[in-house]
Amino acid sequence: MKYLLLAFALLLYNIANTQILKVDKEDIDSDSVNYWMGSVNLDFNVNNRSTTATEEVIFRGLVAHGDLVYLSKNNAYILINTLNYFKSTGGPLISTGYAHLRINFSRRKKLSYEIFSQIQYDDGRRMPYRFLTGGGLRLNIKQKEKLKLHAGVGVMIESERWKSLENDSPDIEKNILKNSSYLSGQFILNEHVNFDLIGYFQGGHDTGSDLFRSRLSADAILNVKVTKRLAFVTNFAIQYEDRPIIPINNLVYSLTNGLKWNF
């Protein structure tokens, strides 16, 4: 319970100063101007796995999301925050999180441009710091009542720090210029259910190691409205890195269920 309260407090702190946007994205493409909107999302999971009749393993996981958007006449200012906490019996508390700021200029045009920055950490994968910033073009492929498709292509500078698996070795630092491309879609199934999908490709040449490193990631969200402001959300996220900086799993994924409050 204390982890739930801690993460919720941190989430509210981020929003007060506040990869997939969880507010209703059809509003971002609308003609409305000069207004704020946002959402708060909490996913909490508890399960137990007993290896023997006398040994019980309990897993607790909390994922908290907070999105905040401001729409001006021509631009969209978007802030996305995520915090994750995981704990199993006998294991350490593991946390991950990121804050992502994106500005979409000339948002209602078929071809617009955007800039973005992100700061991130991942204790479980021994990455205490990642910062990236960049920009690119965004194409509105289709804007229909029940189907919206977008694509983006750009460049970014990514700075990372990783802890070596050998305790007496110094941290590994990387600064890599990368391509950053994405394809996203929103599918309105009916007035109560919508499905969001976004896929990213990021890759660039690591001059220090003289090799190309690439990353594929995807998020899929099923959103079921309970009331005008409350919704049930299922989120599946997956990421693959072909050449990790340190020898860790190439593939990571997560599946969470929770509630979202729009404001």
Beta bridge mates, 185: 149, 197
- The pLDDT of residue 185: 94
Beta bridge mates, 152: 138, 182
Assess whether pLDDT exceeds 50 at residue 3.
no
Q: State pLDDT tens for residues 156-172.
A: 999 999 998 887 889 99
Nearest to 249 by CA among 67, 137, 126: 126
Distance CA 44, CA 23 (A): 19
- The pLDDT of residue 63: 84
Percent of the chain whose pLDDT exceeds 70: 83
pTM above 0.85, yes or no: no
* Location of structure tokens 């720090």: 161
- The pLDDT of residue 10: 36
Residue type, 172: I
Confidence of residue 143 (pLDDT cuts 50, 70, 90): confident
Residue type, 32: S
Strand stretches in the chain, DSSP E = 35-49, 57-71, 76-88, 94-105, 111-122, 127-143, 147-162, 172-188, 193-206, 211-225, 230-241, 251-262
Q: State pLDDT tens for residues 57-86.
A: 677 788 888 999 999 989 999 999 999 888
Q: Which domains does the chain have, with CATH numbers?
A: 2-262 (2.40.160.40)
Which pair of tokens denotes residue 256? 């969470």
Assess whether pLDDT exceeds 50 at residue 211.
yes
